[in-house]
Structure 1
């Protein structure tokens, strides 16, 4: 007799509740669905693959009314169930980042991934069906062959004539050979049937080739182990070139040997590509790679391979949501990096904080590492939430690179500038190249020029759908184009103003212009560029990184991509072209971010026994960030000073920030709704110690035809924090429903 079970499911939609469905089973050949099972359910007029979050929701079903509950369409055949650890992580992320569990599920299992799973399941089922038919055919033919063999052997035993015996014996031999061939084929079919189609196979065992650790590294490693045993995340504050990666790999090897798995997070795909070879040499075939530049099939196969033995996944922030099993260690390299933050869509999570949540779910050890730790992590160390280990000695004993700040205003006055390069920097680069050493040049902006302006009417050419100047890009064939770096639209460049017909001239400079001028100044040098444009080509980016590592490239020009964790043994000189653009950010974190970027860059050079030189071209040579780099102020003093400022003004890490973003194609409606929403939040019943700023228009107030208005709420870190966040979420949800304004408002917790 059929029995009905009532279940709650997580649907990949922005739903504030988990819908109820009924599931019918016969009680003998079937059973109530387990939590984590994936089922297909109808929502409105569409079908979705949902996850069972509660397998026994009968009491809730009675409250809702059984007549209002729809049946599921079926169990999603061939799809692996979601683990309880995954669901637990989704709930934590949704609660912290003020989104729904469905939105987190959608990020973890996007449509493309589910489609790939379904396709593979169908292929597996078809393959199994064909193998079963082949098995039946072979068994039938073998039975017939064995009957014929038995008849031949009976005839052979009764034969009298030698000629008949020979003929029968030859026929018997042919039958035996055919039977042997069929048995071998059947054995292969049976083996294929018993083996999973993809994944699930034990990954090859670890065969590490680990470098010897220095005395300082061993001391730091032992301190990390001791602190980890207390269950705390550990911050490893190691200067650039101190060998933090080797400590990570030692910990990873120990974890893999114990039979548990490792997640190794890096902020950028380009960094993952260089690190991949290094990790593979140390860890062996247990390494899996996961990031957005991998093909969909490759990412699916990585997730499938994780069902096997212990593994090490090297990936960017999206690797957080892989179906981790038996996770023993999480490494968060370059933990300060803002690339760990997801801007859009929801969940707008930071992989650093989310990795700590993941570690709690799996009871994993956690290590965060950086040469320039974030103030949030340093604060967590001060209050005892994190353990702290310092590693101040470079692995090869090299001294920190010298820092030289060049005042570009003073240089221009005495005609010491040649385009973007000071004569002093030109001389330093020339000397470096003469000694067969390498040079790295950073320009924060890609393109040839970040804007173009009419020399007649003064108009700056802007994107038609975004309120931003268009950037000038030169093509390889000598033509040019204008590109919007926000919506990606491309406009052909005629060189004349569409308003008055005047000549357009480039404003400012980007990496393309730096490359052009460097090629003219150093015609014999081998020059390459690595930025957001060139890094899109995985093959090119990999070749550039490998070529620079091997010394096949003399000068590498790039954006912030080149500052993040690379290890180039032949690099002696690093220079920043136009450093003022790094400092000139409208952000209370501007000084912190600038110091982190510049210190990371400084650490790229002189990483072996050779001492390096770090050159900064700027019009603000007396800025505190530069004074810190030059040694006039140490990093601890700078960090303490910045933390003091944050505390005085109530900024993180002494508070929690919730950003509110309103987007609308109609500018007047965006202004009105943003103002009314802020008014509703002021009257929402949050505690009085709240700072609410806005609404205001950000510096880029229109992107892809959507007008943007913002507000920002600072919540004190007290016992009311969670309740205040819930009030904000509920107020926004109610506002959207009452004003019929769904899809226009988003919340961003801990914006960067």
Structure 2
């Protein structure tokens, strides 16, 4: 008996769609896994399975079968789907549009229209200029995507000419799946499997005596592979050449066990260190001395350091920090109204540290990428490898790696990002910090969903049972009103860090000065010019 799956497709469509599950997939497919499904006559899209049933649902369309199962494990979390459904309901958009905004592009395989030239086509007469441009673009390569065709031909809208050429039989059209996420790999150089004895290495060095560059490359490999004087391992020492009595670039292998334990060396590092060209390395590979090994590595920039030390808070910061903690005992949302340069960031860092110590994750939202870059260094000093940064400035592959790290790990960490960070697959979100909460950049305008990240973050925290801290020197009217009315907690930080004084502000009536002709042909008031000079 065939089983059926309900699938969200990342298109502006309100409902899920039913697909049959092929018998070969039944034992592997799971709820929330990614699948590639046909949609329409020719197109394919990546969807998310939201449910599996045994009975055929009543539909007004032909039920097709799932084309490809991409994941045997869930690609999203159940809390994420509930959050998507809330966004679709609250911001009046489809669940497909939310799915399209939430998933990184690298997780969304989709079909791409490919235009192919017909080599047997012969024109009966003159072609239109746009038609000729398309055929000229296809002359250098047999097929192009629509976007590539627009770029090569220089046409902004190629579809009228494509339709005309299709009718004439000059071109053909087919659909192909665009490649999604690809793991990053690096090439490492390793000793061949049968060369782990000191006498074998010494024999190879002797055999390479006349091939100086190959000999040097092997010896540099032994140095970079970390052979050191530790009991039970090998080490390398510079020795004299007995024939000439001079010191030469030779190494002697010594080991207490007779075996050599060496690490693989990054190919790029080995060639750079030795200054030798790749053909020399290829020769050692052909001789069976070296082998190459591809290893998957992470694109995520991380620090090897652990947690750093927290800065000591000033008296005013300590009071605000304690008031926030007390407010969180009765309120889910608290507004921190701190003047400029009062040190709100250090308070955030202490609160983040508290959440991490409890095994919780923290989302630190900022309105713009530029601000994210400025604060990353400070957070990296304190939280080290526990810090993840996520925004649209990263490549698709980098964003997929961050997504997968959060999806397959429940470890406590802090995520620093802009508004799109609310869609990540959090496991146990204990705190969300919305810095500069009054900024209009938190509002997504186009395309849908047209959500406000600050308000959506409140619902996200509620989904996880976490707390929300809004921070600003000039809070929005609505947030300040809710705080004054008691719906939010309110904490004020009115003293600058280091007891710095606030700048003196003088208000100058420019309109009155212009009326009195004291600001003729200038943008500066007399007072401002006096202070500048």
Superposition TM-score tier, normalisation by shorter sequence? 0.5 to 0.7
Match of 1:74 in 2: 68
The residue matched to 2:385 in structure 1 has which SS? coil
Counterpart pick for 1:325 among 419, 427, 446: 427
Shift of 1:300: 3.7
In the alignment, the residues of structure 2 paired with residue 300 and residue 289 of structure 1 have an alpha-carbon distance, to the nearest angstrom, of 12
Q: Is the 8 A contact 1:327 1:362 kept in 2?
A: yes
In the alignment, structure 1 residue 310 sits paired with structure 2 residue 412:
yes
> Residue deviations 1:209-236, cap 9 Å, x none?
3221122221221121122234611111
Map of 1:62 onto structure 2: 57
SS at match of 2:38: strand
Matched, 1:276 2:379: no
Q: 2:531 aligns with which of 428, 436, 455?
A: 428
1:53 and 2:50 equivalent? yes
Matches within 5 A, 1:638-677: none
Partner of 1:419: 522
Task: Say if 2:186 is the partner of 1:83.
Answer: no
Does 2:215 align with 1:221?
no
Contact map agreement 1:201 1:305 (CA 8 A) in 2:
no
- TM (norm. structure 2) is 0.62
Q: TM-score, normalised by structure 1?
A: 0.45
Name the counterpart of 2:206: none
CA RMSD in angstroms comes to 4.0
Q: Tell me how far 1:118 sits from its aligned partner.
A: 8.3
Would you say the 8 A contact 2:300–2:401 is kept in 1? no
SS of aligned partner of 1:360 = helix
Aligned to 1:290, which of 385, 390, 393?
390
Secondary structure in 1 aligned to 2:496?
Answer: coil
1:262 and 2:362 correspond = yes
Paired with 1:30 and 1:64, the residues of 2 have a C-alpha distance of 21
What's the counterpart of residue 34 of structure 2?
Answer: 38
> Match of 1:11?
9
Match of 2:505 in 1: 403
1:183-582 to 2 correspondence within 5 Å?
197-198=297-298, 206-230=306-330, 232-306=332-406, 307-308=408-409, 309-412=411-514, 413-417=516-520, 419-430=522-533
Aligned-pair CA distance for 1:276: 2.0
Q: What is the alpha-carbon distance in structure 2 between the residues aligned to residue 211 and residue 333 of structure 1?
A: 19
Name the count of aligned residue pairs: 382
8 Å CA contact retained: 1:79, 1:118 = no
Structure 1 425/36 Cα, relative in aligned 2: closer, same or farther at 3 Å? same
Q: Secondary structure at the match of 2:108?
A: helix
- Please list the CA deviations of residues 134-169 of structure 1 after superposition, one character each: whole Å capped at 9, or x if unmatched: 99x977x79xxxxxxxxxxxxxxxxxxxxxxxxxxx
User: Residue 348 of structure 1: CA displacement?
Assistant: 0.4
Whether the 8 Å contact between 1:262 and 1:312 is mirrored in structure 2 is: yes
Instruction: Note the 1:145-156 alignment, pairs <5 A.
Output: none
Cα offsets for 1:257-282 (capped at 9, x unmatched): 33322111111222222222222233
CA contact (8 A) 2:342 2:496 kept: yes
Superposed CA deviations along residues 358-417 of structure 1, whole A, max 9, x for unmatched, are: 111222221111122212212333454322222222222234322212222232333335
Offset of residue 425 of structure 1: 1.2
SS at match of 1:406: coil
User: Are 1:114 and 2:108 counterparts?
Assistant: yes
Task: State whether residues 104 and 399 of structure 2, in contact with CA within 8 Å, keep that contact through their aligned partners in structure 1.
Answer: no
Secondary structure class of the residue paired with 1:353: helix
Query: How far off is 1:304 after superposition?
Result: 4.1
User: How much does 1:10 deviate?
Assistant: 0.8
| Contact kept in structure 1, 2:106 and 2:180, CA below 8 Å | no
- The 3 A distance-change label for structure 1 pair 359 and 417 is farther
Residue by residue over 1:332-355, the C-alpha shift from the partner in whole angstroms, topping out at 9 and shown as x without a partner, is: 001111111011110001010011
**Equivalent position SS for 1:344:** coil
Separation in structure 2 between the aligned mates of residue 91 and residue 85 of structure 1, nearest angstrom: 10
Checking the alignment, whether the CA contact within 8 Å between 1:242 and 1:392 is kept in structure 2 is: yes
Unpaired runs of at least 5, structure 1: 143-173, 431-752
Whole-Å Cα distance in 1 between the matches of residues 420 and 379 of structure 2?
Answer: 19
**Is the alpha carbon distance of 1:83 and 1:234 closer, same or farther for their aligned partners in structure 2, counting shifts above 3 Å?**
same
Inter-partner Cα distance in structure 2 for 1:79 and 1:419:
67
Alignment partner of 1:71: what SS? coil
Q: Which structure carries more relative contact order (alpha carbon 8 Å, separation 6+)?
A: 2
Structure 1's 121 and 25: CA in aligned 2 closer, same or farther, altered over 3 A? farther
> Partners of 2:492 and 2:318 in 1: how far apart?
12
**How far apart, in 2, do the equivalents of 1:62 and 1:183 lie?**
60
Unmatched tracts of structure 2, length 5 or more = 111-176, 196-252, 266-289
State the shift of 1:321 in Å: 1.6
2: CA distance, partners of 1:401 / 1:183 = 62
